[in-house]
Structure formats: C-alpha cells, structure tokens
Amino acid sequence: MKIVLASGSPRRKEMLERFNIDLLIIKSDMIERVDSGQEPIQIAMSLAFEKAYEVSKSFMEDLVIGADTIVVDEGRILGKPKDEEDAFNMLRSLSAKSHEVITGLCLIDNSKHLKIVDYERTKVKFKYLSHRLIKSYLDTGEYMDKAGSYAIQGKGAVLVEKIDGCYSNVVGLPLSKLDYILSRFFSINIL
C-alpha cells in the first residue's frame, strides 16, 4: 500500500519525505470553496476531506492524506495574499498579538472503508512589526502562496515571538497528530 499525499504543497511533501514511507504526491484539483457559516475548524477539516476524497477515488487500494491549513485572526480567516499590499495588511493586522493556525487532516483508505477527519490548532504570537520590518520581509518574496502571508520555517521566523502548540502544524502538517492517526487507525508507523 502506498501513502498518497493529496497536496501540491512543497512544505508538506518535504516534511513527509523525511520518513520511511512509500509516498506518492498527487495534487488535488478541487476548487476550494468556503462556507462562511462554518467555524474555522469545520472549514479546515472540510477542505482537507474534499482534497483527500477527490484523490482517493483514483487510489482505491492506497491510503490518501489530505490537509488544509488556515490562519485565523480574531475569527477572520486569512488566506493566501492576493498581492503585496494584501500581504502587508495581513501582517500589520497580526502585529503584536496572537492568532491561530488550524490544519484539517483527512485520511482515507477505501479498501478498509475507513475515513478519519481531525484537526490541530496552534496559537502563534507575533512581536510588534514595524512598517520597515514588514516591508523587509515582503521584499524576500517568501510571503507569496502562504496562508497568513508568512512562513515560520523560513525568514518569517523573525516575526514570531512565541508559539503554543505544534510547530509543524504552523508549517502546514501536524506530524505528531498525523503519526498518532496513522498508528492508531492504520497500523502505520512513520519512524
């Protein structure tokens, strides 16, 4: 049995390739639609399920993993920035306060008729970000294609004062939670 990651995220791919698993990467083509009536946790889990479900239809004998990470600031979901101005405004809104990073996880094994959907939540506190610091960070280009406009595993680490919870969740895949689910429900150990 292969493990299929239903994601185009280079960060998730890199994290999973560190482990001794037979990994196949297939990007889900589903269009992300967010129901504004749902809570952030429901949205993250729903998007993870939709990604995994779409890919699982082509991999009936394999285990498919879907994930979706969102950044939540005072109840407002911060997606990937449209442009540099949007990224600047997101980072300015996160300055000197805490926000949440939520990753929905879905694992589907159609051969066993088993679907597990869960989530991980991490609290991230930013230090005060001056306009100059935000502009310097944006000049790196690292913010592009990142929920919340930053990458904690890169130069964005200088923006973060502290985190409470799972670090790999903020990167985009909560490895400890994933390992627990794989072990508990699928008898797979990634180490």
Catalogue the active-site residues. 68
- For the CA atoms of 166, 168, 172, 176, what is the dihedral angle to 10 degrees? -70
Taking the C-alpha atoms of residue 33 and residue 35, their distance in angstroms, rounded to an integer, is: 7
Please say whether the beta carbons of 64 and 55 come within 8 A. yes
101 is written with which tokens?
A: 């990073």
Task: Pick the closest to residue 2 from 69, 67, 56, 68 (CA basis).
Answer: 56
Residue type, 61: E
> Scanning the structure block, which residue is given the tokens 């995220």?
9
Q: Where are the alpha helices (DSSP H) in the chain?
A: 10-17, 40-56, 84-94, 131-139, 167-171, 175-186
